[in-house]
Structure 1
Amino acid sequence: MTDIRGIEVIAPNFKRRLSGVTSTIIQLVPVQVALGQKIATLGPGLPASLPHIGFADLFRLWTRPPGRARRIWHARRNIEMLPALFLRDVLRMPLKIVFTSASQRRHTGWTKFLIGRMDAVIATSAKTAAYLTVESTTILHGIDTNRFSPPADRAAAKAALGLDATKNIAGCFGRVRRQKGTDLFVDTMIALLPERPDWIAVIAGRATAQHVAFENDLKDRVKKAGLADRILFVGEHTNINAWYRALDLFIAPQRWEGFGLTPLEAMASAVPVIATDVGAFGELVVQGERETGTIIAADALSAMRDATAIFMDDDRRRLEAGAHGRDHACRNFSIAGEATAIGQVYERLLSAR
């Protein structure tokens, strides 16, 4: 347990189930600590390695941290904004509340009320900011560009995973479900692979119980097309960075996405990306000069098929886009950069009169 006296920022996590929000906290907090931000988490479902305070410590929030007039409470859900308002406005504790919004839909009246009471609001993309009715700071998510990095030898990276090192590989990673567009990827591969014997496809990710029938249907389609040995369902892996290093092309076929880190992870691994125009994808992938890939309309199978064929058939374009992607990710989307930008929001509130 961390001593609350030296903590300036509290990052609550009030859901036990692993989610994108929880994952964000798990990845960001160690980087924030390394940058000198005095932050601790609060709540269940987080690794013991993270700095952590208990709920009993909340009674000590009337006491200010050394050299500061207040603390920051960084909420990412409604259920984390509400108790912060009680602590600040009812108990009159010296707190400033930051809220990060990742939603790309119209907020309910209740959510708007809560957001309107925040001291600062962060939007995770320009699309997200467009749904807010208050002033916000846009800070896009970043990734660990050391973990997600190109292999020294891509053929060796393929062989290490038991894949055919002589083949080019197109990949689609994430939960297997209709929302994620896994069927669009499968149908694209069924259409393109028969005429391209030098390519295979990999789908990495699991189907939860309610989506198992969907996954089984996709496997049946692949089998009927005679491509079961070339369109591979490899399941969920904790070493997903190693799977990115084996790819020559990544496709993000989502029909809907809140933000979506997979294009960034692919680009950081020097893999060109074809992504649908959902979530923040359009703000991540560069088209035109120094392209890192292509953005296509959501749920547009023919566009996905055409864009994929172009990249499959042009080795030089893939290599150049991959190199540009690595540079783009490192320059603009490191998780350290995200943590630094968030720290600047904190500092404005901590140092304000």
Structure 2
Amino acid sequence: MLVDTYGRVATDLRVSLTDRCNLRCTYCMPEEGLQWLAKPDLLSDDEIVRLVEIAVSRLGVTEVRFTGGEPLLRPGLTGIVERCAALAPAPRLSLTTNGIGLKRTAAALRAAGLHRVNVSLDTLRPDVFKTLTRRDRHRDVLAGLEAASEAGLTPVKINTVLMPGLNDDEAPQMLAWAIDHAYELRFIEQMPLDAQHGWTRDGMITAGDILTSLRTRFTLTPEGDDRRGSAPAERWIVDGGPHRVGVIASVTRPFCRACDRTRLTADGQVRNCLFAREETDLRAALRSDAPDEEIAALWRQAMWGKKAGSGLDDPEFLQPDRPMSAIGG
């Protein structure tokens, strides 16, 4: 298994398929984009499937989430999903996406074996969406959400980041809309993973702010830690149920003690924490014809050295060199 020195076991693998994205969200990357990874540096489809197979057959991984950048930009995505779904033991497969390409891909991805999707949507207002993402694609995201629901990629989860002066007044409206459409909404605190390194603690909307805003319209009852497990989101029952809303408070309420994640970047580096500044190169081992057990041993070693926490509460905290788009959500 992928165990660290604090006894945590990583069973949830996040696989970044590309660092490219077709949005330019202000809290993620600059308007001109970034210098993308060169194609030879990216893991091939075969290399991705092999690493996922090692993870599920030798290292105890039970859940695999494909991320980006924007994973729907990855050629061959459906084939990757289909091959991973056929592994034994078969992992639970999910996808985190901005939703723009879901209308044309949702049915095929479900048929290939994908179980569900998380879609990033920060606002219900098209003009605010355009300001936040620097693209006029709000209608496409809504269409993608509808297609995912119709295809059976459920529960469809929505990830929302609130930004001061832009959409910080939308929390109650977002929750009411999500309930009406049977989507599961999760608010995420803005994290120090922007390419511009412009994040400041004073400039973020906190979990406390979000809950205060939601309570102006809804009654929220804590679901309880016994139901949360290793999930990053604290969940609240809305107006007595059955609907729920989640808040991922990575900054103000860290959940590192229960973390069960291991991460693989699009160029084959293992990261034992979202905020890690060190990586372990599995791509080099793959391309030097290392056997599966040697790669598994490298992976175990990488996770064994995982720190107790993210370090966000340390005055000496330094952002990772890679932004979120190059790490994977």
* TM-score relative to the length of structure 1: 0.29
The structure that is helix-richer by fraction is 1
* TM-score relative to the length of structure 2: 0.31
Task: With a CA cutoff of 8 Å and minimum separation of 6, indicate the structure with the bigger relative contact order.
Answer: 2
